[in-house]
Amino acid sequence: MRVLIRIAIFFYVFLIMVIGFSGLILLTRRTELAPYEDFLRYVYQDPGAGMIAGFVIAGLMLVSLMLARIIYYRQQRERVVSIDNPKGPVTISLNALEDIVRRMGAAIPQVKELRPVIVSSRRGLKVDVRMSLNWGSNIPSLTTSLQEKIASKIQDVLGKEDHPVSVRIHVTKIMMDLRSKPDAEEDSVANPVHFHGYRV
């Protein structure tokens, strides 16, 4: 499947490059329009050439639709986790798992903001967490505990304790709690520093 994805990317990039390069040549007037006009006139007037051109265009459109469909279903399949139950298969959306992780972050006072992205692969689930922390948080202890809780919770939801779950955390911001500023200002007013003048 990955080979087909690479072929699709190469196909679209090649097609866009050809169209863009041809457009730049025409816009910069690097070539005359006469050869293009002669070619189009030949294809239009000759039945055999017109049929070949029609098959080529139809083939490109068909290949484009097939590759787009492959990419779409590939992305849709990667956004769910399948569980084989005795009564039939069950699929769980990764968006639902991301909501669970987001709520776990909201329950931690030190976490200001948490944005998870979960990707499913043959090796298991990969959880990429970007979050902002409050000032004074113990980052090593907090992130280690959060990684263990996220992995354990996802395995518990899926009912597979042996299902591999890797959690990567990226701390993007450490934010100061603005509510502590008025207290600091009150302390400075309550305990003013008196000026005693200069001593020589």
96 and 55 both lie in a single domain: no
97 and 172 both lie in a single domain: yes
Question: Is the distance from CB of 36 to CB of 25 less than 8 angstroms?
Answer: no
- Reported as a single tens digit per residue, the pLDDT across 141-154 is 999 999 999 999 99
Q: What is the pLDDT of residue 171?
A: 93
Q: Is residue 105 part of a domain?
A: yes
Question: Is the distance from CB of 132 to CB of 169 less than 8 angstroms?
Answer: no
Nearest in space to 106 (alpha carbons), one of 132, 126, 84, 80: 132
Q: Is residue 154 part of a domain?
A: yes
Rounded CA-CA distance 13/196 in Å is: 75
38 and 96 both lie in a single domain: no
Domain containing residue 31: 2-78
Rounded CA-CA distance 83/86 in Å is: 10
Q: For 30, phi and psi rounded to 5 degrees?
A: -80, -15
- Reported as a single tens digit per residue, the pLDDT across 11-40 is 788 888 888 888 888 778 777 778 778 888
60 and 119 both lie in a single domain: no
- Reported as a single tens digit per residue, the pLDDT across 64-120 is 888 777 776 666 555 677 777 788 888 888 889 999 999 999 999 899 999 999 888
42 and 111 both lie in a single domain: no
Note if the pTM is more than 0.85.
no
